Amino acid sequence: MINPRFEKQAFKKEVKNNVKTLFRKTIEEATPQQLFQAVSYAVKEAIIDDWIATQEQYEKDDPKMVYYMSMEFLMGRALGNNLINMTAYKEVKEALDELGIDLNAIEDQEPDPALGNGGLGRLAACFLDSLATLGYAAYGCGIRYRYGMFKQKIEDGYQVETPDNWLKDGNPFELKRPEYAKEVRFGGNIRVEYDEHGKTHFVQENYESVLAVPYDYPIVGYNNHIVNTLRIWDAEPIVDFQLDSFDRGDYHKAVEQQNLAKNIVEVLYPNDNHYAGKELRLKQQYFFVSASLQAAIAKFKKKHTDLHELPEKITIQMNDTHPTVAVAELMRILLDEENMEWNDAWEITTKTCAYTNHTIMAEALEKWPIDLFSKLLPRVYQIIQEIDRRFVIQVREMYPGNEEKVAKMQILRDGQVKMAHLAIVAGYSVNGVARLHTEILKKQELRDFYEMMPEKFNNKTNGITQRRFLMHGNPLLADWVTEKLGTKDWITDLPKMSGLKKWLDDEEALKEFMSIKYENKVRLAKYIKEHNGIEVDPTSIFDVQVKRLHEYKRQLLNILHVMYLYNQIKEHPEKSFYPRTFIFGAKASAGYIRAKQIIKLINSVADVVNNDRSINGKLKVVFIEDYRVSNAEWIFAAADVSEQISTASKEASGTGNMKFMLNGAATLGTMDGANVEIVEEVGADNAFIFGLSSDEVINYEQNGGYDSRQIYNSDPELKRVVDQLVDGTYAQGDTEMYRDLYNSLLMPQGNNQADVYFILKDFRSYAEAQEKVEAAYRDKDRWAKMVLLNTASCGKFSSDRTIQEYVDDIWKLDKETISEEIYE
Ligand SMILES: *Cc1c(COP(=O)(O)O)cnc(C)c1O
């Protein structure tokens, strides 16, 4: 049943009233931003009914809850998604139409809450959507960054970062909860005290502290009245900065606390798959973990007296190692604040915390210098020392005389705190995010841990939510799917999409499917015209690579291939070439210089190619500025080809690949991450696979790399492309602009081998796969079947499936339902 507040007359009245009370305006006078606010507050009213009902139900049933701890939640816009999940999108759209308001334009006023970098943060957002939809009690726990992911501008082809002040107009969906604020302490020293029973107590002195203040965001389940909570923490000084603290001689302390609070939540680090080792980052981690745990324990204690029961009511999932300090902080709370004994506290902690591994790349592994760590978190560090001491004893018991094992597995080693080791030792579950990735963890990167504790290791292949990435992003296709299946079941049961297979031989259905793709390409072409000033032809092949810019993701391979195609077209104008539009979207971490050079190169190639009249528009290159969830939804809907071309073994899963598949694009990719499982579902004939296997890559790596010069010297067409990096073709005569990229492909730098991402090695195989793409696309009937089959085969890749697996194998949560009677 739909909330009566969405009944048309009532909703219109509410919107009018909100415009009046918030802005003292009429609908006609209000700005689009003000209308967004007024509509959002009206929607929030309805959500709050369900939010309260859900929390009352949880209060009554006391179900086991998951606390999903993540430094990042890449939520995307809330308004449209909330309306979809409340099943009120169409009603509200009509009501607003009657007021002369265009819902799409209103949605476009909402800033994207970009509290994440890429896949890891978006995964957390999809998981929250699925948890609420499946009826599981969950809290997302994170940080309310004042500035989210920077906004990307392209100026003269270069990425320029500007601050993302996403809260400047306020956020209608958030709820400040000052009554749940918690103190978080940093630094100082630990004094040991003994009480009258001879028991030891550890007292932190001379610390600095901040007040963690939670803001709650509703997470609306689909059509089930369940509303969970994303709780993100803001930092405030403990004592408000007051002039009279001057008189009390506490001026400096007041200023320091003010600054500490301001700095902690100031900004999201824009690194994707890369560890920077900044002290402020560790402060952020401890800040939100400590506050979240304190709140979780306080909530538990409202209903329970015996903390030994904690693992039956709470489970903590750590999204990568970023929140891993949670295991030591939970120990600290149990030991120091709840006065428990070590063995009891350890038993509880190791039944409560679980860890998700997201990468095997060395540069992404978190290893904090011990001196930094122990100064910032002195008591937590002591506890890690004791965890480490006991673990080393265990290793020695199991592998007597094998100090090499100890060296490889110790938590504290080489002057560092190794967060992954801590997470594995203290976690009751260690999961990878796609089958191949989990196998690599077990056989290579975490082999010693796997051999010692195989029962902890498991796989949970990632997924995405079809509510956002089909219903909201591609309404034309969503409606068509419902019509063809004769049911909406797929919205909460994605494997039902396989029912579309019965239309594979229906010419009319295939035509409809492709004309929806065409409409979506027209929609994206308009966006590109508006934002880039470039005309693209919606009948050309839309070949898309959108994801964070990283060398392992190999945008460089893609653009080198574009340069190669351009040479081919120029040299053989007589040869037929199916028009292609190469679309890129990618942010580079602000300090990742080579990634930024690649962005500049893509834009330079775009400049040359798009302005060469001699090629008759056969080739276009577009770099979409500021890739983010809101424009991603449109891009997936419009794609023909999904570029998933990472160096095999480097992409743990990928989720962009799944969003493309859902929207009817064919995968052009390596056998990496979840691509392997995508090909398994759709069949090898319906994807374009190329390149080295992960085994081959790992084998080369273990034998010192490969000789890229040999390929360069034996393939004149490829050599020409590589040379064009340094002959000025794409740099108005400047031969140095792309020298570093050229060197990265050919020159051994120091002890490292050249082309460590195997770009030249995979180039020919990639180019051949691209020829197959063209041939397949020319055969309209074959192509239509292929991409429909992709949509029909995407059932496995719903985050609903992923979450159900986490629940069954790891979390063991109870399913909740809310009665329809809440509106009576
Ligand atoms: C899905 C998504 C990602 C992750 O893409 P990958 O191709 O898996 O790296 C990154 N950013 C946004 C905005 C997304 O929606």
pLDDT (tens digit per residue) in 508-518: 999 999 999 99
What pLDDT band is residue 252 in, cutting at 50, 70 and 90? confident
CA of 122 to the centre of ligand 1 (A): 7
Atom of ligand 1 nearest to the CA of 76: 13
Residue 179 and residue 358: Cα distance in Å, rounded? 35
User: Does residue 305 carry a catalytic annotation?
Assistant: no
Please pick, among 553, 596, 618, 796, the residue that the annotation labels catalytic.
553
Instruction: Check whether 648 has a pLDDT greater than 70.
Output: yes
Ligand 1 near 628 CB (within 6 A): yes
Q: Hey, whose CA ends up nearest to atom 1 of ligand 1?
A: 656
Instruction: Provide φ and ψ at 417, rounded to 5°.
Output: -100, 115
pLDDT in tens, 139-149: 999 999 999 99
Q: What is the mean pLDDT of residues 472-499?
A: 98
Q: Hey, whose CA ends up nearest to atom 11 of ligand 1?
A: 118
Closest Cα to residue 187, out of 210, 212, 208? 208
Please pick, among 358, 468, 554, 650, the residue that the annotation labels catalytic.
358
CA of 21 to the centre of ligand 1 (A): 39
Closest Cα to residue 227, out of 214, 212, 217? 217
Q: What is the mean pLDDT of residues 604-632?
A: 98
Please pick, among 655, 667, 729, 802, the residue that the annotation labels catalytic.
655
Instruction: Check whether 749 has a pLDDT greater than 80.
Output: no
CA angle 390, 420, 312 (to 5 degrees): 70
Please pick, among 77, 225, 547, 600, the residue that the annotation labels catalytic.
547
Atom of ligand 1 nearest to the CA of 644: 7
Q: Which residues contact 125 (CB under 8 A, 6 or more apart)?
A: 73, 74, 75, 76, 116
Ligand 1 near 152 CB (within 6 A): no
What pLDDT band is residue 254 in, cutting at 50, 70 and 90? confident
Element (H, E) at 656: helix 656-662
Q: Hey, whose CA ends up nearest to atom 10 of ligand 1?
A: 118
Instruction: Check whether 404 has a pLDDT greater than 80.
Output: yes
Residue 792 and residue 549: Cα distance in Å, rounded? 30
Ligand 1 near 119 CB (within 6 A): yes
What pLDDT band is residue 255 in, cutting at 50, 70 and 90? confident
Q: What is the mean pLDDT of residues 28-40?
A: 98
What pLDDT band is residue 248 in, cutting at 50, 70 and 90? low
- Which single residue is written with the structure tokens 């492909």? 745
> Do 688 and 669 touch, CB atoms closer than 8 A?
yes
Atom of ligand 1 nearest to the CA of 464: 1
CA of 455 to the centre of ligand 1 (A): 31
pTM value surpassing 0.95:
yes
| pLDDT of res. 720 | 98
CA of 355 to the centre of ligand 1 (A): 21
| pLDDT of res. 748 | 66
User: Does residue 553 carry a catalytic annotation?
Assistant: yes
pLDDT in tens, 362-376: 899 999 999 999 999
Amino acid symbol at 142: G
User: Does residue 655 carry a catalytic annotation?
Assistant: yes
> Do 584 and 606 touch, CB atoms closer than 8 A?
no
Q: What is the mean pLDDT of residues 42-52?
A: 98
Closest Cα to residue 528, out of 612, 639, 613, 608? 639
CA angle 639, 640, 646 (to 5 degrees): 80
Ligand 1 near 122 CB (within 6 A): yes
CA of 136 to the centre of ligand 1 (A): 25
Instruction: Check whether 245 has a pLDDT greater than 70.
Output: no
C-alpha dist (Å) from residue 100 to 28, 472, 618 = 9, 22, 42
> Do 589 and 271 touch, CB atoms closer than 8 A?
yes
Instruction: Check whether 250 has a pLDDT greater than 90.
Output: no
| pLDDT of res. 527 | 98
- Helix or strand or coil: residue 37? helix
Q: What is the mean pLDDT of residues 110-130?
A: 97
- Which single residue is written with the structure tokens 């085969």? 793
Ligand 1 near 76 CB (within 6 A): no
CA of 634 to the centre of ligand 1 (A): 13
CA of 254 to the centre of ligand 1 (A): 41
DSSP state for residue 306 in the 8-state scheme: -
User: Does residue 379 carry a catalytic annotation?
Assistant: no
Please pick, among 274, 405, 456, 548, the residue that the annotation labels catalytic.
548
What pLDDT band is residue 378 in, cutting at 50, 70 and 90? very high
Q: What is the mean pLDDT of residues 630-646?
A: 98
Q: Which domains does the chain have, with CATH numbers?
A: 7-61+89-108 (no CATH), 62-77+112-359+367-462+807-818 (3.40.50.2000), 466-688+761-797 (3.40.50.2000)
